[in-house]
Amino acid sequence: MKKDMLSNGFHGICSVALVALAGTIVPASAQDKYPSRPIELVVPWGPGGGADQLARKIAPALEKELKVSLPVINVAGATGQTGLNKMLTSPADGYSISIFIADTLALQMDPATKWKIEDIVPAAVMIRQPSAFFVAENSPLKTWKDIEAEAKKRPLKVAITGFGSADDLHVIYFTQKGLKLTSVPFAKPAERYTAILGGHADILYEQLGDVKSFLDGKQMRPVLIFSEARFPAFGNVPASFELGHRIAISQFRSIAMKAGTDQGRVKGVSDALAKVAATDDYKAWLKDQYADEKSFIPAAGAVAFMKQELETMRKYAPKK
């Protein structure tokens, strides 16, 4: 084991040298076999959040399938754009792939956004989860009714990941209905959860699975779940549709590659992901995360899925 450890410590430096060599001297031979060196998996969000957990879950399984290591790198900021930029500024050779989630896709509604959905190719959608509004267990606001009443009197702060995200759209939807809600962006999950537990924000928008530890630890509770029907594990929490709020943008998390990457390489990654998603271990994890058990969508269907999700978001977005 000691040997493994040391070789890992050395790995960074060796791979640096290899990258330099492969990039300048032998570009042709590098294309023959894919993957032939480590693939960097960019997480455009801080460690500990849902995107990070997905990356940490699939990286080891994917390493077994692809037979190369997949170092996971967290590059948080700008609703996932800082990390996405990191992937998009790398060569389109399939050696830099990124987690791509609904929050970042939602930015496409702003025409000023510098990147286009066509700049990326999804390899697969890995997980789809319902989102919810949460309050701290010790908050004076106990139910959605309490929040509705209070938000008509004073502005309530909602901790979200970033402006323009799906989180933000849900908040905007309710402000249009006359509730005084203010989105406050916290890109790092730790800061978002501190905000709600420390009483610095009133409401948290998050996926159920991401705050499982806080739900189990009786620190937070869901007050409104965004879905068509009630969620079995939280039978006493209303679903948005039953209250007449027909809004439920699914939080999906996918693996994306840079557009222009060789089709065969995208398919290679997509097929490997399909194998990972089919394992019992992964299915059990989905259940544990309160996710849709049919979450997985391969590369072929993922583009259409994302375009449709974007349509749904546009429908709910505020008219400018």
Partner 1 sequence: MEGILSNLAVGFVHVFQPVNFLVLAIGIILGLLVAVLPGLTLVMGVVLALPFTYSMEVIPAIILLTAMYISGTYAGAWTSILFHVPGEPIDVPLLWDGYQMARKGRAAQALGWTLLSAFAGGMVAAVVMVLLAQPVARIALTFSTPEYFAILFFGLSSVVSLGGSSLTNALISLFAGLLIATVGVDDTYGTHRFTFNVPILSDGIDYLVVMVGAYGLGEVFLRLEQGFKSVPLDAVGKIRTRLPRLREVLATKMTFLRGSATGIIVGLVPGAGATVSSFLSYGIEGQYGRRRQKLGTGIPEGIIAPQTAATASVGGAIIPLVTMGIPGSGATAIILGAFLLHGLQPGPQVFQTSSHIIYAMFASVFVGIVVMCAIGYFATKYMVKVLAFPEVIVSAYVVMMCILGAFAARNNITDVWLVAIFGVLGYLFERFKFPITPLVLGVILGPLAESSFMTSMISYSNDWTVFFTRPISGPIMLIAILTLLYPVFRRMRQRMKQRIASQ
Paired sense of beta strands 203-207 and 131-136, if any: antiparallel
Min separation Cβ 312 and partner 1, Å:
21
Site string for partner 1, 108-127 (x = CB under 8 A): -----xx-------------
**Pick from 27, 199, 260, 301: which binds partner 1 (CB under 8 A)?**
199
Q: Residue 124 is encoded by which pair of tokens?
A: 């697969």
Q: Which is nearer to partner 1, 80 or 122 (CB)?
A: 80
User: Taking CB under 8 A as the rule, does residue 201 contact partner 1?
Assistant: yes
Q: Give the number of residues written for the chain.
A: 320
Where are the extended beta strands (E) located within 165-312? 181-185, 203-207, 220-226, 251-258, 297-298
Q: Which is nearer to partner 1, 13 or 229 (CB)?
A: 13
Q: Which is nearer to partner 1, 273 or 299 (CB)?
A: 273
Q: Residue 38 is encoded by which pair of tokens?
A: 């480590």
Q: Which is nearer to partner 1, 53 or 227 (CB)?
A: 53
Residue span binding partner 1 (CB under 8 A) among the ranges 121-129, 171-179, 206-214, 292-300:
206-214
Please, which residues bridge with residue 251 across strands?
129
Asked if 203 contacts 133 with a C-beta cutoff of 8 angstroms, the reply is: yes
Residue count at the site for partner 1 (CB under 8 A)?
70
Q: Which is nearest to 186 in space by CA: 176, 196, 172?
A: 196
Min separation Cβ 242 and partner 1, Å:
30
CA distances from 163 to 79, 183, 198 (A): 7, 8, 22
Q: Which is nearer to partner 1, 56 or 267 (CB)?
A: 56
Side chain identity, residue 16: V
Min separation Cβ 56 and partner 1, Å:
5
Paired sense of beta strands 120-129 and 251-258, if any: antiparallel
Asked if 253 contacts 51 with a C-beta cutoff of 8 angstroms, the reply is: yes
Quote the CA–CA distance of 259 and 131 in Å, as a whole number.
Answer: 29
Residues within window 155-194 making contact with partner 1, judged by CB under 8 A: 155, 157, 162-164, 182-188, 190-191, 193-194
Residues within window 43-82 making contact with partner 1, judged by CB under 8 A: 46-48, 52-53, 56-57, 59-60, 63, 69-74, 77-79, 81-82
Min separation Cβ 41 and partner 1, Å:
11
Mapped onto helix, strand or coil, the DSSP state of residue 129 is: strand
Q: Which is nearest to 134 in space by CA: 71, 66, 58, 218?
A: 218
Q: Which is nearer to partner 1, 115 or 241 (CB)?
A: 115
User: Taking CB under 8 A as the rule, does residue 4 contact partner 1?
Assistant: yes
Q: Which is nearer to partner 1, 3 or 294 (CB)?
A: 3
**Pick from 92, 219, 262, 292: which binds partner 1 (CB under 8 A)?**
219
* Runs of H (alpha helix) within 137-217: 144-153, 166-176, 189-197, 212-216
Please, which residues bridge with residue 121 across strands?
257
Q: Which is nearer to partner 1, 26 or 304 (CB)?
A: 26
Q: Residue 142 is encoded by which pair of tokens?
A: 């106990």
Mapped onto helix, strand or coil, the DSSP state of residue 244 is: coil
Residues that bind partner 1 (CB under 8 A): 1-2, 4-5, 8-9, 11-13, 16, 19-20, 40, 46-48, 52-53, 56-57, 59-60, 63, 69-74, 77-79, 81-82, 85-86, 88-89, 107, 113-114, 155, 157, 162-164, 182-188, 190-191, 193-195, 197-201, 212-214, 216-219
